[in-house]
Structure 1
């Protein structure tokens, strides 16, 4: 008997279902169902992907939604809603939007809201969560009957069904009798959330993750009820109710939704005076051309503009350009910095004269056809950059301009990633945290990592997984839940603007800001035809804006970065030295190396290096450099290639060059040339042959030799995958140049602004402050009287702010600034009496003191000892003022400070690190400068130019990895008084020294300086020793406890002896015999070289707790 599954949750009922839509549809098709429903709870995330998958598989999609209907404060019921038609589908979109836009945590739709959109829907009162079943369980049969009749009266007698579920006849039969009595059709179903029964354990895990409980704490009635049943299983389960089975098919037959997908829904722009969009766009372009070019506007430029406008009009994109022009105009008028451009739109003269971009495509020989190809109809893609802190303003403007129901940001899903899935599963199963931590540590957090990939790549992970049954169980279940959507988030850039209300084509939900989110990802948005625009928040534009503002305030220079000279010697000198921290696109170690080798002296060099510094084309960087230096002869396959390739020294760097070669040599239009480029880049055999034939035929027709044409085509094929979009390279290089110019001419302003953008990233901030010192910029300590919220410039240097200090909020800083503006602060007592103690708490005050921000009020130890007294004094002052009503100019006398011993320098540093995250006034190593001279120790800066070095420093972070061969090695992040560096410890050395390495300790290291893959300088460690052992002449001793059991085994004692001899070295060994209560120091021939391997093997022989390394002071 044919039936249809009508109650199905997909993975988009977040952390509730194991059913991924492709597998769900495939399962239903294989089981020979003719239709399938989707009824995710409250949401329509999966509607379009489900519809597409069903259509592709030949299944009829039934689109529905499960929700809670609130009839009154104390009465609600779950209902399943199904779209009978496209209008019904639209009603589901609107209802889901209402539910998901509620700010309260509970999700529901009111009865009145449902009635507003009740037409063209079918309704099923579900077995679980339905009001009817609740009434039956409470033996309130009449209430259940009244409820059903109420729904039939208001929603339509033929539109309401009653669901039964499960195999328990005692629970199902009363519902059957009720349905018969009230003449309401009965339907039967599984509440499908699991496709295969072996996934039930994983299903329980995600329920536990969602509820925040352990699996064992879940209360599940009938777990079989959530499994996908075949047609036969459905027939067997509900054989007593054949009509209910048939009714599922009848319900499906009543639903007819046909979505129009893939057809663009272009928004319209409201033009003044009822002008056509085409006329208004042309008028704006003519005005903009005069503003951009003035007297330099020529017939050739006007012709290019006319050609572009003709293509835009023919494709129907005039409104689109006007919309973009309008919000870019708003940004300029609101003094919001905009990027010079992004992507291929920089090749459009229309975009340039509309001030959408700031790159002159004619000057840089950029091609419009790379952006909009007249030979290939495709939607324009204009991506726009704004400062990350002002992006929201532009989006809000667009919302107000076009209406709150016509603008939305695009949703994305956060998923259960590889490492997170292991941790979440382990927690749900109550697996000991140490077991989970060991496994998760072996799983890389890099993008694209999966559990299967991690397992295959990492021998250590495989060993851990097979070490216990619980570890295997965690891994097995984690692999099942990995990749499931966990929560929703906002796409970093995507915004949609629609001519019609969005809820006619897609559901919405509450977003983080003022603008809602689409209930669909980028792919779904494009499927339903909405036009996406990318509003990107770029930190580098925020930095640019901040630097320009600081330069104006500090030096009185009003800079227009869009008019900077592009031949500035100081800027190119900075780039040639690779001093590009904070310079957009040019910051990485590898890029700095290229810049040092290239020594750029033209803007074109920056554009080229931006295009070439990527996997693949990097191999041509030496050719470009040698061509520029004249150390390599530049040859061309044909003289006609020289005008196209001479600017890049014979190397095909840009996609536009491929297009120009095809146009010049094969007679292609630039549109046809772009099609050629696209086809070749896909590397499909048949397409390559067709394009070769077209190119060679065209070239021969143009008068070129066939053999030459073939060689040039081969050259194009070779470079097609490597060529970069020149329009994008020019636009982003412009921003890079602007930042480099500011850094070269206003370094203090640049560094102060850059530091302010990373104030909450202590590791990055510490490295930047070290670089500032190396560049001769003094970093002044935090100060109550001088520090601001962010880094600020003074004559002596850059002042450290108060915001990076632990526990110190913006609100607290404003309170402190208000106090110091009223009058100079005399003491800690004075300060506490003049600030709101609820905002500037004792914890805030402690952090200020520890960081040195209150040094002007007294010695740090004294101030720390007086915090409690100072706040008590503030209470007395407040009470006095309240009692006197402020009528008398009297004051409470300040007490004397409690005197304590001053902090030592090392104590000050320790407190600074606690308050800020790193040392401010110095480095702990400075205390040992004199003592270290005898060891030929160099600072990091001194050692940077040497090969073999001896350094000393503190270990901040230890990172342990396994090589492809399964060996363990480590990376140490270390620092001294001149900077921070990475130390690489290869497996053989790691085995020797791992046991003695601790974060936060000082070490003496020997090794070789080397530039790694990233071209950052690093130390390859040969030897590493704790500094305190060296300087205090502390030595280690190895103590072994020989228990009575071990002493009995002669072979084991022999193994210990052999092991000590194999690892011979300087460390004495002491053995304690438990049975004899005797301690013996072994002779020198049994002294050892301590290593992780030795200690591990001894632990295996005598027990981990019986191996101890101790230190003693050498008196010699």
Structure 2
């Protein structure tokens, strides 16, 4: 029996966000399996998925048909009136027949977002007339204009609208669409459609309004719809799709329309007519102006050589000091080689554009990073000032960045000061034209944890239970739920048991990875020679930002210049720190010239004193720093590359530390590899080392070696086998035995999966070194800048304030007369910034500082309310200022609060008088202010009220803490402060309860979740039903309790599963029976003299034990002499942890 000819022309993929449930790869496989010759994509109002859809169809041997189901305004697309709200839009199916038609579709969907957005991105008939060429249209689904009229039995009006569409598209490009999803309304519409076809002679097509792939996907798609509409599955009256909206076979479609085989055949005819090709073969770089008589290539050569000469003196200085690893002749040869490659590949304009915008940033005093990604391997980039790290000095490879044997657009990502990144986008927009610049879209997807939480809400399961299940999924980026169920025993057991939890996990797996929303990529900007819309469709975000509709990879595939302008907070921190140093009258260090062998900086790294140091501040990294004790810049580059999940999990970092300290002999896979691996003690750490080994041992060019590295990383078996033979043959020619060559190839393949880009690691190690240098030499200024950088993130602010206190740096409260915008240094103290007070925005701070400059200082609350611009300061701002303590010099907080209404009223009256041009009795003279009325006599706030106000205004307690009076007791009954929860394990922490939430589980039992806060931070605590019954009377907001239990989680996201909750009075004392210090025989040397001094500073009766460990070999316990018994408090534990590591000290005896 012959296969029924049919093509699906009405398809909603995953890019009909939270409405289409078809993943593009799965859609292609099904279409191919069903023997269809082509398949269409017609997402709602957009072309988000056009490029991946097009490429996937080609990969499956299918013809891609590009279209969209656009929204058509009933009148003008600009109409947002009440009438428009009653029926804001109709649907209309459009399919691109030709390349011109696709360009018109791009312009239509762009205009929908940029001009017609009202509930949905709408076009109108005026736009359709302007951009109809090359497009095929159909009468559409039940929500299209003609079917809506047919449902209303308005047949003549439907005919009139049909005539309008025929006038726009022509009879040969408009089809009447039949659908049947088992709905009564569709039968009515189909009757009308058939009558229209009979009366007009227009062709019919049969479609299914496809939203999910198979009938079995209906339930998961229903959950997706609920997520998109904010509903629960059991809600009445919500949007529901029929189970028939799936991707049916041609035979199933023929069964739906047995009387109209022509309607099926016409879908194939349309597919045959469509001839759209996307252009992947050309690059479209913006035009860069060059001097008269120059072209792009000669301009690049000239500027690169000028930059080379500008750097020559520094190279000669380094050579004279014996620190330059290569002669200048190597630099000259490398420059020529790189220039030749860049010109041959057609990219001189790219380098000139990039150098120009970085030069502009530097001219404006905007901090720019020394490099990012593989671009740091280019000497041309270094000479142009694009990067600031010498690629030859650190053996960075140009071919890792730009490979002549793999022609792709260069990719230079640039870090700018976070605060001033927008100025760079403004500069590019002004230079190349507003229509020629756009930011790039990105799609937030339902990752495993989010999928569980969203599915749980739709299924109406108790949130604490859903949250608990979600947190069982490992935090590692990209972790799939199916993998987590295999790897995490609790999830596996839950899935095996079945019931609601299994349904939750099943639904979550079905929706996992689906795009959830569109937003602006954090860094991506596209620059084009003509308006961007001539190349890609555009989108407008809900923040009114214009972006491409295609993500960064798709933008690059169609040959556009994509640049990443990243806002890096660390650069802003550095900029603020340097400004603070200069403001204090100290010589400002030139970070381009600081020595990279500064002893104080390496001592800081070795102590793990790296809070606020870029890429080196996590607790795990600090522990490794203490064990490694880096002594040279190359150690920092290596650590930056090694501190990643792969190397950490494989034991590479342990091996590196052991070799670094000489506890394990340094060996090399082959003598030829020694020069390549010497700086990493024989361990393959970098991708560049894999490339160099292939080059030195087997004769690969570096370009070929880069292709080999990529193939190894992707583990393509066929490619790997061919490369293995080539590598072995090349190695044998160089005297390497076949056995050794095969062993080394396997070693390279293994490490290629773990190896990191050395260029990126070196550039970021330089940023880290600079921040550490500033912290080592200008600690107070660094800490002030550090606090400013996190002023909007309370958790970080609390952590950094605690770090300041531990370092003996006092934080002064905010002051209306002394505080600046941000945190500032006063002598050896730090003054709290006004902009860090919650509820006091930048505009309010501007107005306060402007008035203060004019007046000199504020003398009263009345003066503040009278002299500061009323538009910028209101009751909410003034309340925040009072509660924070910023107005303490103007009076008592309670009195100021009581006087606030009157002061605001007088301020408003003064503003009104000024606006009317009148002068009050005391006004009219510069600086003359009415005397403030006497403050009301009211009782002062209690300490508890005062501190609660500070917490509300600042996010934490500044002048004191409710726990201060309990500090000694807390030290005896806890094992850790909250900020010390650096690794999961059994702990006891004390603090105040806040945010208490009591919830019922699905079984109807009560449990509780709350935040526990101490002076260093807060942690979420979970009390499960078994314990809740015993301790519920102790759980209330503001109660001070001690919670013992198991801390679980990773960097920055801990929670405590409670095993006991005691009031502070009843909590058992800890550490009375001993204090254990763990010393690793394979770790960095412990400073014994300093350790002894610390122990002697806390004399007492608690015995001290040393647990000496070599993993896999031995564990020995020793008791210190009776002269070293200690008082065992938490202060001692904290000091010991800072000395020997956060996980190396614990209360109690060994064992």
Bucket of the pairwise TM-score, normalised by the shorter protein: 0.7 to 0.9
Quick one: distance in 2 between partners of 1:662 and 1:624? 22
Quick one: distance in 2 between partners of 1:147 and 1:708? 78
Deviates more, 1:403-412 or 1:951-960: 951-960
What is the aligned partner in structure 2 of residue 1052 from structure 1? Answer: none
Q: Is 2:866 the partner of 1:828?
A: no
Residues 42-53 of structure 1 aligned to structure 2 (within 5 Å): 42-53=45-56
Q: TM-score, normalised by structure 2?
A: 0.79
Give 1 or 2 for the bigger CA radius of gyration: 1
Deviates more, 1:74-83 or 1:980-989: 980-989
SS of 2:603's partner is helix
Contact kept in structure 1, 2:65 and 2:274, CA below 8 Å: yes
Q: CA deviation at 1:454?
A: 6.0
Contact kept in structure 1, 2:1012 and 2:1021, CA below 8 Å: no
What is the aligned partner in structure 2 of residue 8 from structure 1? Answer: 11
CA offsets 1:490-536 (integer angstroms, 9 cap, x no match): 22233333445544443222257897322222343344343433322
SS of 2:592's partner is helix
Residues 231-380 of structure 1 aligned to structure 2 (within 5 Å): 231-261=250-280, 265=284, 269-273=288-292, 275-294=294-313, 296=316, 298-380=328-410
SS of 2:525's partner is strand
Quick one: distance in 1 between partners of 2:90 and 2:157? 13
What is the aligned partner in structure 2 of residue 814 from structure 1? Answer: 846
Contact kept in structure 1, 2:20 and 2:211, CA below 8 Å: yes
Q: Is 2:984 the partner of 1:921?
A: no
Contact kept in structure 2, 1:28 and 1:36, CA below 8 Å: yes
Quick one: distance in 2 between partners of 1:940 and 1:787? 31
SS of 2:29's partner is helix
Q: How many residues get paired?
A: 1021
Contact kept in structure 1, 2:913 and 2:920, CA below 8 Å: no
Quick one: distance in 1 between partners of 2:844 and 2:62? 62
What is the aligned partner in structure 1 of residue 42 from structure 2? Answer: 39
Q: Is 2:93 the partner of 1:80?
A: yes
Quick one: distance in 1 between partners of 2:549 and 2:978? 54
What is the aligned partner in structure 2 of residue 172 from structure 1? Answer: 190
Quick one: distance in 2 between partners of 1:79 and 1:14? 18
Quick one: distance in 2 between partners of 1:765 and 1:251? 61
Q: Is 2:619 the partner of 1:589?
A: yes
Contact kept in structure 2, 1:85 and 1:255, CA below 8 Å: yes
The 1:969–1:685 alpha-carbon spacing in structure 2 relative to 1, beyond 3 Å, is farther
The 1:700–1:990 alpha-carbon spacing in structure 2 relative to 1, beyond 3 Å, is farther
Q: CA deviation at 1:80?
A: 1.9
What is the aligned partner in structure 2 of residue 120 from structure 1? Answer: 134
SS of 1:413's partner is strand
The 1:649–1:249 alpha-carbon spacing in structure 2 relative to 1, beyond 3 Å, is closer
Contact kept in structure 2, 1:680 and 1:691, CA below 8 Å: no
What is the aligned partner in structure 2 of residue 905 from structure 1? Answer: 943
Q: CA deviation at 1:261?
A: 3.9
Q: Is 2:928 the partner of 1:896?
A: no
Quick one: distance in 2 between partners of 1:440 and 1:942? 24
The 1:465–1:795 alpha-carbon spacing in structure 2 relative to 1, beyond 3 Å, is same
Structure 2 stretches lacking a partner, 5+ long: 77-82, 317-326, 924-928, 999-1005, 1069-1151
SS of 1:80's partner is strand
CA offsets 1:939-993 (integer angstroms, 9 cap, x no match): 9699999x99998644679999xxxxxxx9999986656x459899999998998
What is the aligned partner in structure 1 of residue 524 from structure 2? Answer: 494
What is the aligned partner in structure 2 of residue 866 from structure 1? Answer: 899
The 1:709–1:155 alpha-carbon spacing in structure 2 relative to 1, beyond 3 Å, is closer
What is the aligned partner in structure 1 of residue 1117 from structure 2? Answer: none
Quick one: distance in 1 between partners of 2:243 and 2:1044? 65
Q: TM-score, normalised by structure 1?
A: 0.81
| Corresponding residue to 2:795 among 730, 742, 763 | 763
Structure 1 stretches lacking a partner, 5+ long: 961-967, 1032-1116
CA offsets 1:218-262 (integer angstroms, 9 cap, x no match): 476983663444333333332344443433333333222233446
Quick one: distance in 2 between partners of 1:399 and 1:327? 11
What is the aligned partner in structure 1 of residue 58 from structure 2? Answer: 55
Quick one: distance in 2 between partners of 1:731 and 1:147? 63
CA offsets 1:641-675 (integer angstroms, 9 cap, x no match): 54444333344433334444444444444344444
Quick one: distance in 1 between partners of 2:232 and 2:980? 54
What is the aligned partner in structure 2 of residue 788 from structure 1? Answer: 820
| Corresponding residue to 1:885 among 900, 918, 922 | 918
Quick one: distance in 1 between partners of 2:227 and 2:1056? 44
Contact kept in structure 1, 2:978 and 2:1019, CA below 8 Å: no
CA offsets 1:397-450 (integer angstroms, 9 cap, x no match): 334433444433322212334454455456556677777667667667764455
Q: Is 2:815 the partner of 1:778?
A: no
Q: CA deviation at 1:900?
A: 2.7
| Corresponding residue to 2:69 among 66, 69, 78 | 66
| Corresponding residue to 1:26 among 24, 29, 33 | 29
Quick one: distance in 2 between partners of 1:284 and 1:188? 62
The 1:567–1:3 alpha-carbon spacing in structure 2 relative to 1, beyond 3 Å, is closer
SS of 1:924's partner is coil
Quick one: distance in 1 between partners of 2:190 and 2:1010? 66
Quick one: distance in 1 between partners of 2:266 and 2:987? 83
Quick one: distance in 1 between partners of 2:1043 and 2:222? 52
What is the aligned partner in structure 1 of residue 1096 from structure 2? Answer: none
Quick one: distance in 2 between partners of 1:159 and 1:467? 56
The 1:424–1:1003 alpha-carbon spacing in structure 2 relative to 1, beyond 3 Å, is closer
The 1:133–1:939 alpha-carbon spacing in structure 2 relative to 1, beyond 3 Å, is closer
Q: Is 2:774 the partner of 1:742?
A: yes
What is the aligned partner in structure 2 of residue 1025 from structure 1? Answer: 1062
Q: CA deviation at 1:731?
A: 1.2
Q: Is 2:223 the partner of 1:191?
A: no
Contact kept in structure 2, 1:443 and 1:454, CA below 8 Å: yes
Q: CA deviation at 1:364?
A: 2.3
Q: Is 2:657 the partner of 1:648?
A: no
Q: CA deviation at 1:546?
A: 1.8
Quick one: distance in 2 between partners of 1:725 and 1:224? 49
| Corresponding residue to 1:554 among 564, 567, 584 | 584
SS of 1:849's partner is helix
What is the aligned partner in structure 1 of residue 1098 from structure 2? Answer: none
Q: Is 2:109 the partner of 1:91?
A: no
Quick one: distance in 1 between partners of 2:154 and 2:986? 88
Deviates more, 1:716-725 or 1:553-562: 716-725
CA offsets 1:248-277 (integer angstroms, 9 cap, x no match): 333333222233446655565443325332
Q: CA deviation at 1:778?
A: 1.0
Quick one: distance in 1 between partners of 2:1058 and 2:802? 23
